[in-house]
Each structure stands twice: as structure tokens, then as C-alpha cells.
Structure 1
Amino acid sequence: MAAPITRAPDDVLVHLRRARDLADREYAAPLDLDRLASVAGLSKYHFLRVFRATYGVTPAEYVSRRRIERAQDLLRATNLTVTEVCHAVGFSSLGSFSSRFRSVVGESPSDFQTRYASTGAPHIPGCVLFMWGLVESSATQEKHEPPDPS
């Protein structure tokens, strides 16, 4: 029988916090386990074990939860569409975003947005978010084909 996973020693916690802080700052970027492990000064597999033992979730689950929290903020406070929010928080698929959102929050992103649409302060226009760089505009722009040179 394998030994139970125990909490990381305090000296490792400092390094784990650095990796967690990086994941918090760059939640919308694709998850890079090698980089997080490097920031923590651990091998990738040891990092995965210690992160899960310390925080109770894997780094992927942690980042996914962080993305959903940010999506809730954007759906509550902005006039962005669900698709724009999906891409702004780092999901590449609307379907996976919607299912993950529903499993964490208990309702669909559009139902969540509708529930908050009539309450609280006026919504922040999406153009303001894009202008100030609060949301990555390239993630929500349609891809256009270049004009045919002939």
C-alpha cells in the first residue's frame, strides 16, 4: 500500500505559491506545467504530486476553476457575449467552457448572465475592456481571409 500524500514542507510552500501566483496571473494562457514546475523549482511530476497534496486539486483543475471565477466576473459586469467571455478567459471551445461552467456554478453561462443582467450597476461596454487591455481582443476577433491578390 502506498504511503498517504502529506502536505508539503514550508520551504516548498514558498515555491508552490510562486507557481500558483503565476497560474493566477496567466490563467487565460494555455497551462504550461513545465514552466510552473520550473518556477517552483521542482520536477514536473513531483510538482504535480506536491501541488495536489497542498491545494487539493491538480494545477489544471486550479486554473480551470480560476478561469470560471473570472468568467463569472465578466458575465456579471460586462456586456460581452458568452462566446467572447469564453475566449477571454482561456477556453478554446464554447462547449467545454459551458459544461465546465455548469458543473462549477450550477447553471449555464447564459442563464448566469441573464440572472445578473437586471441587477447591479450598468455593464461595462466590451469596447472599453478591449481598449484598456483588460480582455485580450485577439481572442474574440473573427479571422478574415486576406484579399486575393489576383
Structure 2
Amino acid sequence: MCRPEWGRARTEARRLDDLARLRRVRDRIDREYARPLNVEALARGVHMSAGQLGRRFRQAYGGSVYAYLMARRIERAAALLWRDDLSVTEVCFAVGCSSPGTFSTCFTELVGMPPSAYRRRAATVGAGRDGHWPG
């Protein structure tokens, strides 16, 4: 006869294994944000179905895999826009977005202003005109 604690231990081991796989997905997104990534490919990489990965990722991190990926891309885009050597469109493609329109919409939602306005604000701050970080 099985002891109840064995079932709990098995459940806990499964939970820890899932968390390790989710961390691998998150780490891969952090490393490869500029590459074409989709939930199906990320799920295959950790031997989960796309649905299972989506549900578990949301439970663990409070948002979707896609939202996490886009947040990393926009975070990197903001850093690139702070510099002045790439156009907004070049930044869009450099961070792995394939549509400047979608990039601009997502950037605006996450940062609070369009990428072009962020770039202008960065130039103002970079020139020391107002001394405040954009946002």
C-alpha cells in the first residue's frame, strides 16, 4: 500500500520540474528575444504542449509567454532608442518584431508613449535639457 506522503512528494517533484522547465523557457526568451520565437517552439523545447506551457507560464509568472517576450523586446528597444544610431524601424527589426505597427502599438502600451516620442524625449534628456528620465 502506498503512503500518502509519497503522493505528495511525487506531486511536489512534478511541480518543481515544471518550474525548472518554465525557467528554461523564460531564460531562452531573455537570451533569444530578437529571434523568431513562438509558443509552440518554446513548448517543444521543454517537452510540453503549447497549451500546457501557456497555462503553467501564466500561473507561475502572471502573464502569457507572448506578453513576456514582448516585454523583453520593448525593454531592449527602449535601450536602443536611447541611442541615436538606429531608426525606429531598424530598432523594431533589431529586437525581433516583424511589424513596425505592432511594435509601435506594443511599445506605446508598455512605455506610455510611441517610440518616436520616446526617442525625442531621450534626445532632450541626453542633451540635459530637462534632467528627467522619460516616462
How well do the aligned residues superpose, as a CA RMSD in angstroms?
1.8
Deviations 1:32-81 (A, max 9, x none): 22221122222221111101111111111111111100100100134211
Return the TM-score normalized by structure 2: 0.76
- Quick check: 1:28–1:91 contact (8 Å CA) kept in 2? yes
Letter of the aligned partner of 1:116 in structure 2?
Answer: A
Matches within 5 A, 1:124-143: none
Number of corresponding residues:
114
Q: Aligned residues: percent identity?
A: 47
Using the TM superposition, give the Cα deviation of residue 120 of structure 1 relative to its aligned residue in structure 2, in angstroms. 4.1
Using the TM superposition, give the Cα deviation of residue 115 of structure 1 relative to its aligned residue in structure 2, in angstroms. 0.9
Deviations 1:76-129 (A, max 9, x none): 1342111110111111221111111111111110111111114349xxxxxxxx
Higher helix share: 2
Unmatched segments (≥5 aa) in structure 2: 1-13, 128-135
Question: Greater relative contact order: 1 or 2 (C-alpha under 8 angstroms, separation 6 or more)?
Answer: 1
Distance 2:112 2:124 in 1: 20
Residue 91 of structure 1 aligns to a residue in which SS? Answer: coil
Unmatched segments (≥5 aa) in structure 1: 1-7, 122-150
Larger radius of gyration: 2
- Quick check: 1:31–1:60 contact (8 Å CA) kept in 2? no
Return the TM-score normalized by structure 1: 0.69
Q: Tell me which residue corresponds to 2:120.
A: 114
> Quick check: 1:59 aligned with 2:61?
no
